[in-house]
Structure 1
Amino acid sequence: MRQPRNTTYIVPEVKIAVITHNDSTEFKLAFISVELDVLLTEDLWLPDDSLCAAPPLRHFRPCVRLSTGPQQRHSTLYEFRTYCIHPEQNAAFLKLTNEKIQLRTAHSELVGYWSVEYGGLNKVFHIWKYDSHSQRAAVRAALAQDPTWISEYISKAIPMLTSQDNEVTYLVPWSRLHKPPKEGGVYELVSYQMCPGGPAVWGQDFQAAVTAHDAPGYAKLVGSADQRAELRHKAHTDARVVAAVRNSIVHLVAQENKLMFPCPFSPLR
Protein backbone atom coordinates (compact mmCIF):
# COMPACT_ATOMS: atom_id res chain seq x y z
CA MET A 1 0.00 0.00 0.00
CA ARG A 2 1.42 3.39 -0.99
CA GLN A 3 0.50 6.90 0.04
CA PRO A 4 -1.22 9.19 -2.51
CA ARG A 5 0.28 12.39 -3.82
CA ASN A 6 -0.21 15.90 -2.43
CA THR A 7 0.31 14.77 1.15
CA THR A 8 2.16 16.68 3.84
CA TYR A 9 4.83 14.74 5.70
CA ILE A 10 7.11 15.46 8.60
CA VAL A 11 10.61 14.44 7.60
CA PRO A 12 13.47 14.12 10.10
CA GLU A 13 16.72 15.70 8.96
CA VAL A 14 19.75 14.47 10.85
CA LYS A 15 22.80 16.48 11.80
CA ILE A 16 26.17 14.88 12.51
CA ALA A 17 28.96 16.83 14.24
CA VAL A 18 32.55 15.55 14.29
CA ILE A 19 35.27 17.10 16.48
CA THR A 20 38.94 16.38 15.84
CA HIS A 21 42.15 17.50 17.58
CA ASN A 22 45.28 18.84 15.95
CA ASP A 23 47.74 16.31 17.37
CA SER A 24 45.90 13.02 17.43
CA THR A 25 44.47 10.78 14.72
CA GLU A 26 42.77 8.75 17.46
CA PHE A 27 40.82 11.63 19.01
CA LYS A 28 37.50 11.94 17.23
CA LEU A 29 34.11 12.71 18.75
CA ALA A 30 30.99 12.20 16.65
CA PHE A 31 27.57 13.38 17.78
CA ILE A 32 24.14 13.03 16.20
CA SER A 33 21.02 15.16 16.53
CA VAL A 34 17.60 15.03 14.87
CA GLU A 35 15.78 18.08 13.55
CA LEU A 36 12.23 18.04 12.20
CA ASP A 37 11.41 19.70 8.90
CA VAL A 38 8.18 19.85 6.93
CA LEU A 39 8.15 18.50 3.40
CA LEU A 40 5.13 19.23 1.20
CA THR A 41 5.21 16.49 -1.41
CA GLU A 42 3.91 16.99 -4.92
CA ASP A 43 5.13 13.94 -6.81
CA LEU A 44 6.57 11.89 -3.97
CA TRP A 45 5.36 8.37 -3.20
CA LEU A 46 6.39 6.79 0.07
CA PRO A 47 5.62 3.51 1.85
CA ASP A 48 3.06 3.72 4.63
CA ASP A 49 5.52 2.86 7.38
CA SER A 50 8.38 5.15 6.30
CA LEU A 51 6.93 8.47 7.41
CA CYS A 52 3.87 9.64 9.27
CA ALA A 53 1.29 11.54 7.26
CA ALA A 54 -0.16 14.74 8.70
CA PRO A 55 -3.21 16.86 7.82
CA PRO A 56 -2.85 19.85 5.45
CA LEU A 57 -0.67 22.70 6.72
CA ARG A 58 -3.61 24.79 7.87
CA HIS A 59 -4.47 21.99 10.31
CA PHE A 60 -0.87 21.01 10.90
CA ARG A 61 -0.10 18.84 13.92
CA PRO A 62 3.44 17.43 14.30
CA CYS A 63 3.60 13.68 13.88
CA VAL A 64 6.71 11.68 13.08
CA ARG A 65 8.34 8.33 13.66
CA LEU A 66 11.95 8.80 14.58
CA SER A 67 14.46 6.03 14.16
CA THR A 68 15.34 4.18 17.36
CA GLY A 69 19.06 3.89 16.86
CA PRO A 70 21.59 3.03 19.59
CA GLN A 71 21.90 6.69 20.58
CA GLN A 72 18.26 6.66 21.67
CA ARG A 73 18.63 3.53 23.79
CA HIS A 74 20.95 5.41 26.15
CA SER A 75 19.80 8.41 28.13
CA THR A 76 23.14 10.28 28.19
CA LEU A 77 22.94 13.40 26.07
CA TYR A 78 25.25 16.26 25.16
CA GLU A 79 24.05 19.83 24.81
CA PHE A 80 25.85 21.96 22.24
CA ARG A 81 25.77 25.68 23.00
CA THR A 82 26.96 28.48 20.73
CA TYR A 83 27.11 32.07 21.95
CA CYS A 84 27.70 35.07 19.71
CA ILE A 85 29.42 37.96 21.48
CA HIS A 86 29.46 41.69 20.81
CA PRO A 87 32.86 42.26 19.15
CA GLU A 88 33.94 44.88 21.66
CA GLN A 89 32.97 42.56 24.54
CA ASN A 90 34.70 39.38 23.36
CA ALA A 91 37.77 39.68 25.60
CA ALA A 92 35.68 40.75 28.59
CA PHE A 93 33.28 37.82 28.15
CA LEU A 94 36.10 35.27 27.99
CA LYS A 95 37.75 36.82 31.05
CA LEU A 96 34.50 36.76 33.04
CA THR A 97 33.78 33.16 32.04
CA ASN A 98 37.30 32.09 32.96
CA GLU A 99 36.88 33.62 36.41
CA LYS A 100 33.34 32.37 37.12
CA ILE A 101 33.00 29.07 35.23
CA GLN A 102 33.19 27.13 38.51
CA LEU A 103 29.77 28.55 39.42
CA ARG A 104 28.35 26.72 36.41
CA THR A 105 30.36 23.50 36.62
CA ALA A 106 29.17 23.10 40.21
CA HIS A 107 25.81 22.12 38.71
CA SER A 108 26.74 19.82 35.79
CA GLU A 109 29.65 18.47 33.77
CA LEU A 110 31.41 20.62 31.20
CA VAL A 111 32.98 18.60 28.37
CA GLY A 112 34.73 21.40 26.51
CA TYR A 113 34.70 25.15 25.90
CA TRP A 114 36.25 26.74 22.80
CA SER A 115 36.68 30.09 21.14
CA VAL A 116 35.91 29.97 17.42
CA GLU A 117 38.76 31.21 15.21
CA TYR A 118 37.48 30.35 11.71
CA GLY A 119 33.88 29.68 10.75
CA GLY A 120 32.39 32.50 12.81
CA LEU A 121 33.81 35.58 14.50
CA ASN A 122 33.30 36.44 18.17
CA LYS A 123 31.74 33.08 19.02
CA VAL A 124 32.23 30.48 21.72
CA PHE A 125 31.16 26.85 21.51
CA HIS A 126 30.72 24.58 24.53
CA ILE A 127 29.43 21.09 25.31
CA TRP A 128 27.61 20.01 28.49
CA LYS A 129 26.93 16.40 29.47
CA TYR A 130 23.71 15.20 31.10
CA ASP A 131 22.57 11.76 32.20
CA SER A 132 19.03 12.47 31.00
CA HIS A 133 16.62 15.20 29.98
CA SER A 134 15.29 15.12 33.52
CA GLN A 135 18.73 15.88 34.92
CA ARG A 136 19.13 18.77 32.51
CA ALA A 137 15.76 20.19 33.55
CA ALA A 138 16.75 19.93 37.21
CA VAL A 139 20.08 21.66 36.52
CA ARG A 140 18.41 24.50 34.64
CA ALA A 141 15.91 24.94 37.48
CA ALA A 142 18.70 25.01 40.06
CA LEU A 143 20.66 27.60 38.06
CA ALA A 144 17.59 29.82 37.87
CA GLN A 145 17.48 29.78 41.68
CA ASP A 146 21.23 30.25 42.26
CA PRO A 147 21.71 33.87 43.37
CA THR A 148 25.50 33.77 43.08
CA TRP A 149 25.37 32.44 39.52
CA ILE A 150 22.85 35.09 38.55
CA SER A 151 24.50 38.07 40.23
CA GLU A 152 28.16 37.27 39.53
CA TYR A 153 27.86 35.81 36.04
CA ILE A 154 24.55 35.81 34.18
CA SER A 155 23.64 39.42 34.90
CA LYS A 156 27.03 40.49 33.53
CA ALA A 157 27.41 38.00 30.68
CA ILE A 158 24.01 38.27 29.00
CA PRO A 159 24.43 41.94 27.94
CA MET A 160 27.68 40.93 26.21
CA LEU A 161 25.91 38.43 23.93
CA THR A 162 24.06 39.00 20.68
CA SER A 163 22.54 35.51 20.48
CA GLN A 164 22.53 32.03 22.01
CA ASP A 165 21.86 28.71 20.29
CA ASN A 166 21.68 25.16 21.58
CA GLU A 167 20.90 21.64 20.41
CA VAL A 168 20.74 18.19 21.96
CA THR A 169 23.04 15.49 20.59
CA TYR A 170 24.08 11.90 21.33
CA LEU A 171 27.41 10.18 20.79
CA VAL A 172 27.23 7.83 17.83
CA PRO A 173 27.91 4.16 18.68
CA TRP A 174 31.40 4.13 17.15
CA SER A 175 32.57 7.24 19.01
CA ARG A 176 33.70 7.50 22.62
CA LEU A 177 34.39 10.48 24.84
CA HIS A 178 38.05 10.79 25.84
CA LYS A 179 40.81 13.36 26.05
CA PRO A 180 43.48 13.76 23.36
CA PRO A 181 46.99 12.57 24.28
CA LYS A 182 48.38 16.11 24.08
CA GLU A 183 46.82 19.39 25.19
CA GLY A 184 46.74 22.60 23.20
CA GLY A 185 46.53 23.27 19.51
CA VAL A 186 43.51 23.42 17.25
CA TYR A 187 40.17 21.61 17.29
CA GLU A 188 37.95 21.33 14.24
CA LEU A 189 34.17 21.05 14.46
CA VAL A 190 32.54 19.77 11.27
CA SER A 191 28.73 19.71 11.10
CA TYR A 192 27.09 17.58 8.42
CA GLN A 193 23.41 18.01 7.58
CA MET A 194 22.34 14.63 6.22
CA CYS A 195 19.37 13.59 4.10
CA PRO A 196 16.24 12.19 5.76
CA GLY A 197 16.35 8.52 6.61
CA GLY A 198 18.83 8.44 9.47
CA PRO A 199 21.83 6.18 10.12
CA ALA A 200 19.93 3.16 8.84
CA VAL A 201 20.22 4.68 5.35
CA TRP A 202 23.61 6.42 5.36
CA GLY A 203 25.33 5.44 8.63
CA GLN A 204 27.82 2.95 7.19
CA ASP A 205 28.80 5.21 4.30
CA PHE A 206 29.27 8.18 6.62
CA GLN A 207 31.40 6.22 9.09
CA ALA A 208 33.54 4.90 6.24
CA ALA A 209 34.10 8.43 4.91
CA VAL A 210 35.14 9.72 8.33
CA THR A 211 37.44 6.83 9.21
CA ALA A 212 38.99 6.81 5.71
CA HIS A 213 40.90 9.93 6.77
CA ASP A 214 42.39 8.22 9.84
CA ALA A 215 44.75 5.58 8.49
CA PRO A 216 46.73 7.97 6.26
CA GLY A 217 46.71 10.59 9.04
CA TYR A 218 44.67 13.15 7.12
CA ALA A 219 42.41 13.77 10.11
CA LYS A 220 45.42 14.93 12.11
CA LEU A 221 45.92 18.69 12.27
CA VAL A 222 49.49 19.62 13.05
CA GLY A 223 49.27 22.99 14.70
CA SER A 224 48.25 25.49 12.03
CA ALA A 225 45.59 26.20 9.45
CA ASP A 226 48.26 26.09 6.73
CA GLN A 227 49.28 22.55 7.65
CA ARG A 228 45.63 21.54 7.83
CA ALA A 229 45.12 22.84 4.29
CA GLU A 230 48.11 20.82 3.11
CA LEU A 231 46.75 17.60 4.60
CA ARG A 232 43.31 18.27 3.17
CA HIS A 233 44.84 18.67 -0.27
CA LYS A 234 46.65 15.34 0.07
CA ALA A 235 43.45 13.64 1.25
CA HIS A 236 41.58 14.88 -1.81
CA THR A 237 44.10 13.14 -4.07
CA ASP A 238 44.04 9.84 -2.16
CA ALA A 239 41.93 7.27 -4.02
CA ARG A 240 40.87 5.54 -0.78
CA VAL A 241 39.49 8.76 0.70
CA VAL A 242 37.91 9.89 -2.56
CA ALA A 243 36.06 6.58 -2.96
CA ALA A 244 34.72 6.63 0.61
CA VAL A 245 33.64 10.26 0.39
CA ARG A 246 31.95 9.68 -2.98
CA ASN A 247 29.71 7.03 -1.43
CA SER A 248 28.80 9.31 1.48
CA ILE A 249 28.38 12.61 -0.34
CA VAL A 250 25.12 11.53 -1.98
CA HIS A 251 23.51 11.67 1.47
CA LEU A 252 24.89 15.12 2.35
CA VAL A 253 22.70 18.23 2.35
CA ALA A 254 25.14 20.77 3.81
CA GLN A 255 28.47 20.98 5.63
CA GLU A 256 29.95 23.60 7.97
CA ASN A 257 33.48 23.72 9.39
CA LYS A 258 34.88 25.62 12.36
CA LEU A 259 38.44 25.82 13.68
CA MET A 260 38.48 26.43 17.43
CA PHE A 261 40.96 27.03 20.23
CA PRO A 262 40.22 25.59 23.70
CA CYS A 263 39.77 28.08 26.52
CA PRO A 264 42.12 27.75 29.52
CA PHE A 265 39.34 26.31 31.68
CA SER A 266 38.15 23.77 29.10
CA PRO A 267 38.43 20.11 30.21
CA LEU A 268 39.26 19.25 26.59
CA ARG A 269 42.25 21.37 25.57
Structure 2
Amino acid sequence: MLCTLRCALSKGKTAAALTSAWTDLTRGVQAKAAFATGPRQHDTTFYEFRTYTIKPSLMAEFTKLSNENFHIRMARSEMIGYWTYELGGLNKVLHIWKYDSFAHRSAVRSKLPQDKEWQEKYICKALPMIEKQEIEIAYLVPWCKLQKPEKEGVYELVTYMFKPGGPAVWGQAFKAAISTHVHNGYANLVGIFNTEYGLINQVHVLWWNENADSRAAGRHVAHEDARVVAAVRESVRFLDSQRNALLIPAPSSPLK
Protein backbone atom coordinates (compact mmCIF):
# COMPACT_ATOMS: atom_id res chain seq x y z
CA MET A 1 0.00 0.00 0.00
CA LEU A 2 2.88 2.38 0.78
CA CYS A 3 4.36 1.46 -2.59
CA THR A 4 1.08 2.36 -4.28
CA LEU A 5 1.20 5.82 -2.74
CA ARG A 6 4.83 6.33 -3.76
CA CYS A 7 4.07 5.24 -7.33
CA ALA A 8 1.16 7.64 -7.53
CA LEU A 9 3.38 10.49 -6.36
CA SER A 10 6.24 9.63 -8.72
CA LYS A 11 3.95 9.46 -11.74
CA GLY A 12 2.25 12.77 -11.01
CA LYS A 13 -1.18 11.28 -10.54
CA THR A 14 -4.26 13.38 -10.02
CA ALA A 15 -5.55 14.46 -6.63
CA ALA A 16 -8.25 11.80 -6.83
CA ALA A 17 -5.68 9.06 -7.40
CA LEU A 18 -3.53 10.33 -4.55
CA THR A 19 -6.52 10.45 -2.25
CA SER A 20 -7.43 6.87 -3.17
CA ALA A 21 -3.88 5.67 -2.50
CA TRP A 22 -3.77 7.48 0.86
CA THR A 23 -7.13 5.99 1.85
CA ASP A 24 -5.86 2.48 1.07
CA LEU A 25 -2.76 3.12 3.18
CA THR A 26 -4.63 4.42 6.22
CA ARG A 27 -7.11 1.56 6.04
CA GLY A 28 -4.22 -0.87 6.16
CA VAL A 29 -2.71 0.86 9.18
CA GLN A 30 -6.08 0.84 10.96
CA ALA A 31 -6.55 -2.84 10.19
CA LYS A 32 -3.17 -3.66 11.70
CA ALA A 33 -3.90 -1.50 14.74
CA ALA A 34 -7.15 -3.36 15.34
CA PHE A 35 -5.17 -6.56 15.80
CA ALA A 36 -2.32 -5.07 17.82
CA THR A 37 -1.67 -6.48 21.26
CA GLY A 38 -1.69 -3.10 22.96
CA PRO A 39 1.10 -0.90 24.36
CA ARG A 40 4.68 -2.08 23.96
CA GLN A 41 5.88 -4.28 26.84
CA HIS A 42 8.54 -2.15 28.56
CA ASP A 43 8.68 -4.03 31.87
CA THR A 44 10.71 -7.20 31.31
CA THR A 45 9.37 -8.86 34.47
CA PHE A 46 7.24 -11.90 33.70
CA TYR A 47 5.61 -14.82 35.49
CA GLU A 48 5.95 -18.50 34.75
CA PHE A 49 2.89 -20.68 35.40
CA ARG A 50 3.85 -24.33 35.96
CA THR A 51 0.95 -26.77 36.18
CA TYR A 52 1.55 -30.44 37.00
CA THR A 53 -0.91 -33.31 36.78
CA ILE A 54 0.00 -35.98 39.32
CA LYS A 55 -0.79 -39.69 39.19
CA PRO A 56 -3.94 -40.05 41.33
CA SER A 57 -2.56 -42.79 43.57
CA LEU A 58 0.55 -40.71 44.31
CA MET A 59 -1.01 -37.30 44.97
CA ALA A 60 -0.67 -37.53 48.76
CA GLU A 61 2.95 -38.71 48.50
CA PHE A 62 3.78 -35.94 45.99
CA THR A 63 2.23 -33.30 48.24
CA LYS A 64 4.26 -34.50 51.23
CA LEU A 65 7.46 -34.54 49.16
CA SER A 66 6.88 -30.99 47.94
CA ASN A 67 6.01 -29.63 51.37
CA GLU A 68 9.23 -31.06 52.80
CA ASN A 69 11.64 -30.05 50.03
CA PHE A 70 10.37 -27.14 47.95
CA HIS A 71 12.33 -24.65 50.04
CA ILE A 72 15.43 -25.86 48.16
CA ARG A 73 14.00 -24.65 44.86
CA MET A 74 12.67 -21.42 46.35
CA ALA A 75 16.21 -20.41 47.30
CA ARG A 76 17.02 -20.08 43.59
CA SER A 77 14.33 -17.61 42.50
CA GLU A 78 11.16 -15.93 43.72
CA MET A 79 8.05 -18.08 43.91
CA ILE A 80 4.76 -16.18 44.02
CA GLY A 81 2.63 -19.08 45.15
CA TYR A 82 2.09 -22.84 45.19
CA TRP A 83 -1.41 -24.35 45.17
CA THR A 84 -3.24 -27.63 44.82
CA TYR A 85 -6.48 -27.82 42.85
CA GLU A 86 -9.57 -28.36 44.99
CA LEU A 87 -12.25 -27.78 42.32
CA GLY A 88 -12.04 -27.34 38.57
CA GLY A 89 -9.30 -29.96 38.24
CA LEU A 90 -8.13 -33.12 39.95
CA ASN A 91 -4.67 -34.18 41.10
CA LYS A 92 -3.12 -30.92 39.91
CA VAL A 93 -0.69 -28.44 41.41
CA LEU A 94 0.21 -24.96 40.23
CA HIS A 95 3.17 -22.80 41.09
CA ILE A 96 3.97 -19.32 39.77
CA TRP A 97 7.51 -17.95 39.53
CA LYS A 98 8.66 -14.38 38.96
CA TYR A 99 11.63 -13.53 36.73
CA ASP A 100 13.24 -10.20 35.87
CA SER A 101 13.98 -11.26 32.29
CA PHE A 102 14.44 -14.33 30.10
CA ALA A 103 18.18 -14.13 30.79
CA HIS A 104 17.39 -14.30 34.52
CA ARG A 105 15.22 -17.36 34.00
CA SER A 106 17.89 -19.07 31.88
CA ALA A 107 20.53 -18.42 34.53
CA VAL A 108 18.33 -19.92 37.26
CA ARG A 109 17.26 -22.93 35.18
CA SER A 110 20.84 -23.71 34.13
CA LYS A 111 21.93 -24.11 37.76
CA LEU A 112 19.14 -26.47 38.85
CA PRO A 113 20.61 -29.64 37.27
CA GLN A 114 23.83 -28.91 39.17
CA ASP A 115 22.03 -28.64 42.51
CA LYS A 116 22.71 -32.07 43.97
CA GLU A 117 20.40 -31.61 46.95
CA TRP A 118 17.47 -30.54 44.74
CA GLN A 119 18.03 -33.37 42.28
CA GLU A 120 18.41 -36.11 44.87
CA LYS A 121 15.85 -35.03 47.44
CA TYR A 122 13.14 -33.86 45.06
CA ILE A 123 13.48 -34.24 41.27
CA CYS A 124 14.47 -37.91 41.19
CA LYS A 125 11.57 -38.80 43.47
CA ALA A 126 8.97 -36.41 41.96
CA LEU A 127 9.40 -37.18 38.24
CA PRO A 128 7.90 -40.71 38.38
CA MET A 129 4.81 -39.26 40.07
CA ILE A 130 4.05 -36.73 37.33
CA GLU A 131 1.72 -37.52 34.42
CA LYS A 132 1.76 -34.16 32.64
CA GLN A 133 3.48 -30.79 32.84
CA GLU A 134 2.40 -27.47 31.30
CA ILE A 135 4.39 -24.23 31.26
CA GLU A 136 3.14 -20.77 30.35
CA ILE A 137 4.82 -17.37 30.37
CA ALA A 138 2.62 -14.37 31.17
CA TYR A 139 2.91 -10.66 31.92
CA LEU A 140 0.85 -8.68 34.39
CA VAL A 141 -1.51 -6.42 32.45
CA PRO A 142 -0.30 -2.78 32.64
CA TRP A 143 -3.20 -1.62 34.82
CA CYS A 144 -2.74 -4.28 37.50
CA LYS A 145 -0.19 -4.65 40.29
CA LEU A 146 0.33 -7.93 42.10
CA GLN A 147 -1.45 -7.87 45.46
CA LYS A 148 -0.70 -9.97 48.54
CA PRO A 149 -3.68 -10.85 50.75
CA GLU A 150 -3.31 -9.89 54.38
CA LYS A 151 -4.52 -13.22 55.73
CA GLU A 152 -4.89 -16.85 54.72
CA GLY A 153 -7.72 -18.01 52.49
CA VAL A 154 -8.50 -19.80 49.25
CA TYR A 155 -7.74 -18.72 45.70
CA GLU A 156 -9.74 -18.80 42.50
CA LEU A 157 -7.97 -18.99 39.16
CA VAL A 158 -10.24 -17.83 36.35
CA THR A 159 -8.86 -18.45 32.88
CA TYR A 160 -10.39 -16.56 29.95
CA MET A 161 -9.85 -17.29 26.27
CA PHE A 162 -10.51 -14.13 24.26
CA LYS A 163 -11.08 -13.60 20.58
CA PRO A 164 -7.89 -12.74 18.63
CA GLY A 165 -6.62 -9.18 18.75
CA GLY A 166 -5.14 -8.82 22.21
CA PRO A 167 -5.80 -6.12 24.82
CA ALA A 168 -6.17 -3.48 22.10
CA VAL A 169 -9.44 -5.22 21.18
CA TRP A 170 -10.85 -6.52 24.47
CA GLY A 171 -8.76 -4.68 27.08
CA GLN A 172 -11.04 -1.80 28.01
CA ALA A 173 -14.18 -3.90 28.28
CA PHE A 174 -12.40 -6.54 30.34
CA LYS A 175 -10.84 -3.92 32.61
CA ALA A 176 -14.29 -2.43 33.24
CA ALA A 177 -15.73 -5.85 34.16
CA ILE A 178 -12.88 -6.62 36.58
CA SER A 179 -12.89 -3.13 38.10
CA THR A 180 -16.63 -3.25 38.73
CA HIS A 181 -16.23 -6.41 40.80
CA VAL A 182 -13.26 -5.01 42.74
CA HIS A 183 -14.54 -1.50 43.41
CA ASN A 184 -17.86 -2.78 44.71
CA GLY A 185 -16.20 -5.19 47.11
CA TYR A 186 -17.37 -8.43 45.51
CA ALA A 187 -13.90 -9.96 45.15
CA ASN A 188 -10.25 -9.47 46.14
CA LEU A 189 -7.97 -9.27 43.13
CA VAL A 190 -4.44 -10.71 43.34
CA GLY A 191 -3.26 -10.37 39.74
CA ILE A 192 -4.20 -10.43 36.05
CA PHE A 193 -1.79 -12.21 33.71
CA ASN A 194 -1.82 -12.06 29.91
CA THR A 195 -0.22 -15.14 28.31
CA GLU A 196 2.80 -14.61 26.05
CA TYR A 197 3.88 -18.25 25.65
CA GLY A 198 1.29 -21.01 25.83
CA LEU A 199 -2.23 -20.47 24.59
CA ILE A 200 -2.35 -17.00 23.06
CA ASN A 201 -5.30 -14.65 23.73
CA GLN A 202 -5.55 -16.21 27.18
CA VAL A 203 -5.76 -14.32 30.47
CA HIS A 204 -5.44 -15.73 33.99
CA VAL A 205 -7.13 -13.79 36.79
CA LEU A 206 -6.17 -14.79 40.32
CA TRP A 207 -8.63 -13.89 43.11
CA TRP A 208 -8.47 -14.34 46.89
CA ASN A 209 -11.40 -15.20 49.15
CA GLU A 210 -11.56 -15.96 52.84
CA ASN A 211 -13.18 -19.31 52.06
CA ALA A 212 -15.26 -21.01 49.37
CA ASP A 213 -18.55 -19.94 50.96
CA SER A 214 -17.61 -16.24 51.04
CA ARG A 215 -16.69 -16.50 47.37
CA ALA A 216 -20.06 -18.06 46.55
CA ALA A 217 -21.94 -15.41 48.53
CA GLY A 218 -20.08 -12.55 46.84
CA ARG A 219 -20.70 -14.02 43.42
CA HIS A 220 -24.46 -14.34 44.00
CA VAL A 221 -24.74 -10.71 45.13
CA ALA A 222 -22.60 -9.48 42.24
CA HIS A 223 -24.88 -11.17 39.73
CA GLU A 224 -27.76 -9.07 41.07
CA ASP A 225 -25.87 -5.79 40.67
CA ALA A 226 -26.89 -3.98 37.48
CA ARG A 227 -23.45 -2.34 37.22
CA VAL A 228 -21.70 -5.70 37.21
CA VAL A 229 -24.20 -7.22 34.80
CA ALA A 230 -23.75 -4.36 32.33
CA ALA A 231 -19.95 -4.49 32.48
CA VAL A 232 -19.81 -8.26 32.12
CA ARG A 233 -22.29 -8.21 29.25
CA GLU A 234 -20.00 -5.84 27.35
CA SER A 235 -16.89 -7.90 28.11
CA VAL A 236 -18.30 -11.28 27.07
CA ARG A 237 -18.69 -10.05 23.49
CA PHE A 238 -14.96 -10.74 23.15
CA LEU A 239 -14.92 -14.00 25.10
CA ASP A 240 -14.60 -17.51 23.64
CA SER A 241 -14.40 -19.57 26.84
CA GLN A 242 -13.85 -19.43 30.59
CA ARG A 243 -12.60 -21.92 33.16
CA ASN A 244 -12.65 -21.58 36.96
CA ALA A 245 -10.55 -23.46 39.51
CA LEU A 246 -10.56 -23.29 43.31
CA LEU A 247 -7.00 -23.48 44.68
CA ILE A 248 -5.68 -24.27 48.16
CA PRO A 249 -2.27 -22.76 49.05
CA ALA A 250 0.45 -25.16 50.12
CA PRO A 251 2.21 -24.64 53.49
CA SER A 252 5.31 -23.36 51.67
CA SER A 253 3.38 -20.93 49.45
CA PRO A 254 4.25 -17.23 49.93
CA LEU A 255 0.63 -16.41 49.04
CA LYS A 256 -1.46 -18.04 51.74
**Shorter-chain TM-score tier:** 0.7 to 0.9
1:60 aligned residue? none
Name which of 180, 190, 199 aligns with 2:167.
199
Tell me the equivalent position of 1:57: none
SS in 2 for 1:217: coil
Q: For 1:105 and 1:229, locate their aligned partners in 2 and report how far apart those are by CA, in whole Å.
A: 33
Q: Indicate the residue corresponding to 1:114 in structure 2.
A: 83
TM-score (norm 2): 0.76
* Partner of residue 216, structure 2: 229
TM-superposed deviation, 1:66: 6.0
Q: Deviations over 1:194-219 (max 9, x none)?
A: 11111112111101101111233221
Residue 177 of structure 1: how far off its partner (Å): 1.9
- Cα deviation digits, residues 15-41 of structure 1 (max 9, x gap): xxxxxxxxxxxxxxxxxxxxxxxxxxx
1:232-260 C-alpha deviation (Å, 9 max, x unpaired): 22211210001101111101111111111
Counterparts in 2 of 1:218 and 1:251: CA distance versus 1, 3 Å: same
Instruction: Tell me, in whole angstroms, the C-alpha distance in 1 between the residues paired with 2:36 and 2:173.
Output: 20
* 2:244 counterpart residue number: 257
For the 8 Å contact 2:38–2:166, the answer to whether it is kept is no
Aligned residue runs from structure 1 range 58-77, under 5 A: 67=37, 69-70=39-40, 72-77=41-46
Whichever residue aligns with residue 63 of structure 2, its letter is L
| Corresponding residue for residue 210 of structure 1 | 178
Equivalent residues, number: 210
Secondary structure at the aligned position of 2:182 is classed as coil
Q: What is the distance in 2 between the residues matched to 1:138 and 1:222?
A: 35
**Higher Rg:** 2
Tell me the C-alpha RMSD between the 2 structures. 2.0
Letter in 2 for 1:69: P
Answer 1 or 2: higher relative contact order, Cα 8 Å, separation at least 6. 1
For residue 213 of structure 1, give the secondary structure of its aligned residue in structure 2.
helix
**Superimposed CA distance per residue, residues 128-174 of structure 1 (whole angstroms, 9 cap, x where no aligned partner):** 00000111111111112222211111010011111010100011112
SS at match of 1:214: helix
Letter in 1 for 2:95: H
Which runs of 5 or more structure 1 residues have no equivalent in the other structure? Answer: 2-46, 52-64
Distance 1:130 1:92 in 2: 29
SS of 1:250's partner is helix
Given that residues 71 and 252 in structure 2 are in contact (C-alpha distance below 8 angstroms), is that contact kept between their aligned partners in structure 1? no
AA aligned to 2:167 is P
- Asked if the contact 2:187–2:209 (Cα under 8 Å) also holds between the matched residues in 1, the reply is no
Of 124, 142, 167, 1:155 maps to 124
1:142 counterpart (111, 114, 118): 111
Alignment of 1:52-91 (within 5 A): 67=37, 69-70=39-40, 72-91=41-60
Q: Is the 8 A contact 2:38 2:168 kept in 1?
A: no
Q: Is the 8 A contact 2:86 2:248 kept in 1?
A: yes
Amino acid at match of 1:108: S
Aligned residue number for residue 185 of structure 1: 153
Structure 2: how far apart are the matches of 1:165 and 1:149?
Answer: 20
Name the CA distance, whole Å, in 1 between partners of 2:175 and 2:38. 18
Q: CA deviation at 1:222?
A: 5.3
In percent, how many aligned pairs have the same letter? Answer: 54
The CA deviation at 1:48 is 4.2
Worse-superposed segment, 98-107 or 217-226 = 217-226
CA contact (8 A) 2:158 2:245 kept: yes
Q: 2: CA distance between counterparts of 1:179 and 1:201?
A: 29
Q: Classify the secondary structure of the residue corresponding to 2:73.
A: helix
Greater share of residues in helix: 2
Gaps of 5+ in 2: 2-26, 189-207
CA contact (8 A) 2:157 2:246 kept: yes
1:73 Cα shift? 1.0
For 1:97, give the aligned amino acid: S
